[in-house]
């Protein structure tokens, strides 16, 4: 069985802008992300992005826009991300087990990469991220202070989450 880091996108890998981020001009990678990705990859983790992209369901943008942003992320991170999954659903438009807090995107990666959820981590900035991981037995690390919930461990950013993960190995 293998291990992985599940990564939420907006607010963890790229800057949260307060609304939907889908244009390359607004897609800004957070400081330390490429280095953190490299450290986690060197430690033997599969790296899997799991992101809700409800703007697609709402008709604000399309899949091609999301893929263009993911190309920017991959290039900045040396193409070390193993999979980039996104849910194009929103409860007001359509239901899906792939939209966090459900665990469909994680389950897809577990099957694809033969992952042991007990050896995996999910790094996200929302309670729904933590819930998606918990449904599968994946440990979570909450990043930032945007979410008004009590959750531990909680760290400032992906750099700090990477330090925590690697120190606990």
Active site residues: 8, 10
The 8-class DSSP code of residue 119 comes to: G
Q: What CA–CA distances, in Å, run from 38 to 47, 72, 101, 103?
A: 10, 16, 27, 26
CA 53 to chain centre: 12
Calculate helix-pair angle for 104-113, 127-136, nearest 10 degrees.
Answer: 50
Tokens read off for 77: 């991170």
155 burial (CB, 10 Å; 0-12 / 13-18 / 19+) is middle
Tokens read off for 123: 């790094």
Contact between 89 and 57 (Cβ < 8 Å) = yes
């Amino acid at each position: 069985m293998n291990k992985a880091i599940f990564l939420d996108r907006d607010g963890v890998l790229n800057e949260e802008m307060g609304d939907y981020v889908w244009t390359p001009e607004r897609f800004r990678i957070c400081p330390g992300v490429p280095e953190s990705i490299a450290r986690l990859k060197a430690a033997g983790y599969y790296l899997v992005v799991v992101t809700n992209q409800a703007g697609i369901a709402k008709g604000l943008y399309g899949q091609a826009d999301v893929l263009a942003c993911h190309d920017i992320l991959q290039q900045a991170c040396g193409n070390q991300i193993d999979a980039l999954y996104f849910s194009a659903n929103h409860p007001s438009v359509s239901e899906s087990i792939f939209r966090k807090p459900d665990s469909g995107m994680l389950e897809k990666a577990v099957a694809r990469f033969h992952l042991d959820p007990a050896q995996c981590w999910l790094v996200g900035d929302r309670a729904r991220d933590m819930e998606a991981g918990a449904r599968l037995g994946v440990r979570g690390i909450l990043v930032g202070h945007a979410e008004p919930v009590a959750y531990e461990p909680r760290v400032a950013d992906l750099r700090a989450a990477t330090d925590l993960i690697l120190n606990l190995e």
